[in-house]
């Protein structure tokens, strides 16, 4: 047993010493894949847990919460809840995003009745910086969390200005929220003062209930929900803090983004699996005679199988261990430098810290080791099954690879991949789309020996027909094509490396470019006006009154104005709110105000107000044109006729557009949040902007040209896809190293072949020319096939994965400059590597190279 262990260790270490670059490249690919996947998991887990904890901190010790299907509801429900015999304390809460002037993001404000909140949410009661206890109830103060103070650069005693309509409201910072979570941006003030100061008299966001001892919480929740449904149909929701619905709402916001990032991170891991296969296949080919000799000397087949599996698994184990350590370091650095939202903004306002999760570490370690085992399984099986008598003969390498050229498994993978693309998502995730991409890659790589054989045999026949028996025909292309036509198995391995890396890079590049180009075109279509005006960059407290709207319409140089009112409503307890856009539009020509998908459906019967739902909303809520959509408005449920579907890249949780005239008629809310302005025929943009700024409320207006909005939107897009760009760059780098390692290994393994060519008169320069031409031909075919395969994968990404993940569609766009640059880099890398390795392989002399055959 000891001698077998010594032999195994000797074979393993000897192979690593002989080809360290090839082993290191495979280890690096697996390490990068594991590190990226583990880091993304840790970052998202930390951000999601911190976000959930921050949400829970706002609920305190509440047993039951009553919320509305609209952001605000009348406070007349409060006595009905507080007087129920099972309720010990009822705490009214008003939450809103307070608009800040100057383009700053809004601040979340929670307004409380401190006498009731002390029993349920004591952590939200501010601590006055002075000894003035009355500051807690003052009507001109608020308390800020430490994170909000740092963010807004204001200390206790300072003043903070908010935007209410078009006027500014100045409040004094009276103290801090000592027990707010780290990174939580939050302001707290008295509920009566907030209702008065921010124009929300008589309005609440929720009511927190603490029940008396002995009351069954679930039974009370069911009874209360039934009572409210009878008294106020479709108006209220009854739940528990951090119940399944709330967790589902929080998770649904970012789940698709998190899963897609994780899958993209595993692209490197898949490339690593193939590099392990390439490494072990080339190693087995080169050592066939050694293994055959060991078999003759008594080594059993299963022992040889185990040896090759150990060699491949060791690459996976080392890569996985390095990946786990690297992933933790990447996650810690990313959370410290960039926060937990990875650029997408899902978890803004929290400051998570990384925590090592042993279960996830084991899972990603098993993934890394598993792909290495899968990668070396076929070479190990071939090494064990090889007949010693045949393997001892030189030149049997191509026979060993003949089984890899069988087309039926590859074709079966391709057919199954096509079938899986027709299946629906699982839990709103494109699981079968991901599986179809994996099968497409496996099938394409497995088919490469056949493609290489067909392509190079055709090229060899054409070359032979063109040159005939001309003795002056160039020897380099003749020998190159002859070898490639008759060694398709080895060519398939080299092509597989190019194919796997280049096709994945092509698919990712096309997907991102298609999305970016579609977003750019969409922005141009939805911004037809000459100028856009709003009173703040975000929040729900800024807006324009009807009088101010009339002043905008009468401003010099303005020919026409369309207004927009933006708010949110809840259509399902387990989903995030849907954006409701009430805008001025022509019902007969809605395409002038939105990008319609498909035809508009006319209303045959009835006289319901019309609504247009976004692609995401149609998909998430299974709504089709022609159906009726109930929307909660002004305390009642109003049915709308769904007239069509429109494209919206801004809101993945769903949005619905209604005519503002219908909205004002149903709700009485005539205020707006945005205005689109068309200039008069001879008016200049600068003059119009100056005229708008001269209005009495002009200082509160943010007037922007469409080009500025477009540039800002694309910057936000690039920030959101920053991690995807990084993963794409890593895939390119791994592909370059993988191609270099594969060609280097193949070239060094052919030292005997080069020695024989030198014996029959082929010069050193001609051999180097053969290698350069061979590398270029193989890489060129790999690039062409990889582009075709990458294009097919991008079709799945664009038309299946993205619609099933984010519920929107896009058109294809090809980033030719990037694809051409990467193709050129791969071509240059393969040719230079082949030349460099060829020089090393030719350095030993022809007699030494062929001595094993004598």
Two structure tokens written together for 841: 């392989």
Higher-confidence residue: 619 or 255?
A: 619
Res. 852: pLDDT tops 50: no
What is the residue extent of each domain of the chain?
1-60+258-399, 61-240, 401-527+707-854, 531-704
CA 557 to CA 677: how far, in whole Å? 10
Two structure tokens written together for 511: 């997907």
Q: How confident is the model at residue 748 (pLDDT cuts 50, 70, 90)?
A: low
In 3D space, the residue among 247, 244, 125 whose CA is nearest the CA of residue 189 turns out to be: 125
Q: Can you give the pLDDT at residue 53? A: 76
Q: Can you give the pLDDT at residue 558? A: 95
N-to-C CA span, the chain: 35
Q: Can you give the pLDDT at residue 782? A: 86
The chain-wide mean pLDDT, for the chain, equals 84
Maximal CA-CA distance, the chain: 107
Q: Can you give the pLDDT at residue 738? A: 65
Q: Can you give the pLDDT at residue 441? A: 87
Q: Can you give the pLDDT at residue 762? A: 83
Res. 553: pLDDT tops 80: yes
pLDDT tens readout for residues 102-139: 777 899 999 999 999 999 999 899 888 877 777 888 99
Res. 759: pLDDT tops 60: yes
pLDDT tens readout for residues 666-688: 999 999 999 999 999 889 999 99
Q: What is the dihedral sign for C-alpha 210, 211, 217, 221?
A: negative
Q: How confident is the model at residue 832 (pLDDT cuts 50, 70, 90)?
A: confident
Q: Can you give the pLDDT at residue 503? A: 86
Q: How confident is the model at residue 662 (pLDDT cuts 50, 70, 90)?
A: very high
- In the block, residue with structure tokens 């994170």: 147
- Phi/psi of residue 132, nearest 5 degrees: -80, 95
Q: Can you give the pLDDT at residue 652? A: 85
Residue range 198-210: average pLDDT?
95
pLDDT tens readout for residues 1-12: 466 677 677 777
Helix (H) or strand (E) holding 298: none
Q: How confident is the model at residue 734 (pLDDT cuts 50, 70, 90)?
A: low
In 3D space, the residue among 606, 611, 638, 632 whose CA is nearest the CA of residue 623 turns out to be: 611
Q: Can you give the pLDDT at residue 136? A: 85
Res. 182: pLDDT tops 90: no
CA 830 to CA 824: how far, in whole Å? 10
Higher-confidence residue: 657 or 731?
A: 657
Residue range 466-476: average pLDDT?
76
Per DSSP, 647 falls in state: -
CA 24 to CA 741: how far, in whole Å? 9
Q: Can you give the pLDDT at residue 763? A: 85
Cα–Cα separations (whole angstroms), residue 524 to 246, 529, 563, 706, 710: 36, 10, 18, 8, 8
- In the block, residue with structure tokens 């019967």: 605
User: What percentage of the chain carries pLDDT values higher than 90?
Assistant: 42
Res. 854: pLDDT tops 60: no
pLDDT tens readout for residues 15-58: 777 667 667 777 877 888 788 888 888 887 887 777 777 777 77
In 3D space, the residue among 555, 525, 541, 518 whose CA is nearest the CA of residue 675 turns out to be: 555
Q: Can you give the pLDDT at residue 397? A: 53
Cα–Cα separations (whole angstroms), residue 62 to 211, 215, 248, 484: 8, 13, 19, 74
Beta bridge partners of 667: none
CA 248 to CA 575: how far, in whole Å? 7
pLDDT tens readout for residues 374-418: 877 777 777 777 666 655 555 555 555 555 557 888 899 999 999
Per DSSP, 542 falls in state: B
pLDDT tens readout for residues 329-346: 988 887 877 666 655 556
CB-based burial of residue 97 (10 Å sphere; 0-12 exposed, 13-18 middle, 19+ buried)?
middle
Whole-model pTM: value is 0.84
- In the block, residue with structure tokens 């979340």: 108
Per DSSP, 87 falls in state: E
- Pairing of the two strands 187-190 and 107-112: parallel
**Which of 355-369, 378-392, 649-663 is predicted with the least confidence, judged by mean pLDDT?**
378-392
- Which stretches within 126-175 are classed as H helix? 146-152
List Cβ neighbours of 383 (8 Å cut-off, separation of 6 or more). Answer: 284, 288, 291, 304, 305, 308
């Amino acid at each position: 047993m000891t001698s077998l262990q010594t032999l195994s260790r000797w074979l393993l270490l000897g192979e690593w010493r002989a080809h360290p670059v090839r082993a290191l490249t495979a280890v690096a690919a697996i390490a990068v894949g594991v590190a990226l996947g583990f880091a993304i998991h840790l970052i998202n887990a930390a951000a999601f847990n911190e976000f959930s904890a921050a949400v829970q901190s706002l609920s305190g010790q509440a047993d039951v919460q009553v919320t509305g299907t609209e952001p605000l509801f009348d406070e007349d429900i409060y006595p009905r809840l507080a007087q129920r015999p099972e309720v010990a304390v009822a705490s009214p809460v008003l939450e809103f995003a307070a608009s800040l002037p100057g383009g700053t993001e809004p601040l979340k404000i929670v307004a409380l009745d401190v006498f009731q909140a002390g029993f349920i949410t004591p952590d939200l009661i501010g601590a006055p910086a002075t000894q003035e206890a009355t500051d807690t109830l003052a009507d001109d103060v608020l308390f800020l969390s430490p994170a909000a103070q740092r963010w807004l650069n204001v200390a206790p005693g300072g003043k903070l200005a908010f935007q209410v309509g078009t006027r500014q409201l100045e409040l004094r910072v009276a103290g801090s929220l000592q027990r707010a979570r780290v990174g939580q941006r939050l302001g707290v003030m008295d509920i009566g003062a907030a209702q008065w100061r921010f124009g929300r008299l008589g309005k609440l966001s929720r009511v927190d209930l603490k029940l008396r001892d002995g009351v069954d919480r679930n039974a009370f929740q069911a009874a209360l929900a039934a009572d409210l449904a009878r008294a106020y149909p479709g108006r209220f929701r009854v739940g528990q803090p951090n119940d399944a619905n709330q967790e589902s709402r929080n998770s649904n916001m970012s789940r698709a983004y998190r899963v897609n990032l994780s899958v993209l991170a595993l692209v490197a891991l898949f490339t690593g699996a193939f590099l392990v296969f390439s490494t072990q296949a080339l190693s087995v080919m080169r050592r066939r005679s050694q293994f055959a000799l060991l078999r003759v000397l008594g080594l059993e087949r299963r022992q040889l199988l185990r040896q090759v599996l150990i060699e491949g698994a060791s690459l996976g184990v080392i890569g996985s261990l390095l990946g786990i350590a690297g992933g933790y370091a990447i996650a810690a650095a990313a959370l410290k430098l960039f926060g937990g939202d990875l650029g997408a903004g899902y978890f803004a306002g929290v400051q998570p810290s990384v925590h090592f999760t042993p279960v996830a570490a084991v899972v990603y370690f098993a993934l890394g080791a598993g792909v290495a085992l899968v990668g070396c399984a076929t070479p190990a099986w071939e090494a064990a099954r090889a007949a010693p008598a045949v393997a001892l003969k030189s030149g049997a390498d191509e026979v060993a690879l003949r089984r890899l050229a069988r087309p039926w498994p590859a074709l079966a993978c391709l057919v199954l991949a096509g079938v899986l693309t027709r299946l629906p998502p699982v839990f709103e995730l494109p699981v079968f789309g991901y599986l179809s991409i994996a099968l497409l890659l496996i099938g394409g790589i497995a088919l490469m020996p056949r493609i290489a054989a067909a392509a190079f045999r055709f090229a060899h026949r054409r070359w032979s027909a063109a040159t005939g028996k001309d003795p002056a025909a160039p020897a380099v292309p003749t020998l190159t094509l002859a070898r490639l036509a008759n060694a398709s198995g080895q060519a398939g391995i080299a092509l597989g490396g190019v194919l796997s890396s280049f096709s994945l890079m092509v698919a990712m590049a096309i997907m991102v470019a298609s999305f970016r180009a579609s977003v750019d075109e969409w922005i141009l279509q939805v911004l037809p006006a000459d100028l856009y005006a709003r009173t703040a960059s975000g929040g729900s407290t800024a807006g324009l009154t009807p009088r101010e709207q009339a002043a905008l319409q009468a401003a010099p140089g303005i020919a026409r104005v369309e207004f927009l009112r933006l708010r949110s409503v809840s259509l399902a307890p387990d989903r995030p709110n849907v954006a409701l856009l009430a805008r001025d539009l022509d019902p007969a020509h809605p395409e002038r105000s939105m990008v319609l998908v498909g035809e508009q459906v006319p209303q045959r019967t009835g006289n319901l107000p019309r609504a247009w739902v976004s692609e995401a909303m149609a998909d998430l809520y299974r709504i089709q044109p022609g159906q009726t959509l109930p929307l909660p408005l002004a305390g009642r449920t109003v049915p709308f006729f769904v007239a069509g579907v429109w494209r919206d890249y801004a809101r993945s949780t769903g949005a619905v557009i209604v005519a503002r005239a219908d909205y004002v008629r149903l709700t009485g809310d005539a205020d707006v949040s945005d205005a689109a302005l068309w200039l008069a025929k001879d008016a200049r943009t600068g003059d119009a902007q100056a005229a708008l700024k001269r209005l009495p409320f002009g200082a509160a207006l943010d007037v922007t040209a469409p080009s500025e909005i477009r540039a800002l939107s694309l910057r936000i897009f690039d920030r959101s896809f920053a991690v995807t760009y990084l993963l794409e760059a890593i895939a390119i780098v791994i592909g370059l190293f993988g191609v270099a390692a594969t060609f280097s290994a193949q070239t060094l393994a052919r030292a005997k072949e080069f020695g024989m060519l030198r014996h029959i008169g082929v010069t050193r320069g001609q051999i180097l020319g053969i290698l350069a031409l061979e590398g270029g031909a193989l890489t060129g075919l790999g690039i062409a096939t990889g582009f075709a395969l990458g294009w097919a994968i991008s079709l799945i990404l664009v038309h299946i994965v993205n619609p099933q993940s984010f519920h929107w569609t896009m058109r294809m766009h090809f980033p030719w400059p990037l694809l051409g640059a990467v193709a050129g880099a791969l071509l240059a890398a393969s040719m230079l590597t082949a030349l460099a390795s060829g020089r090393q392989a030719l350095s030993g002399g022809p007699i030494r190279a062929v001595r094993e055959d004598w």
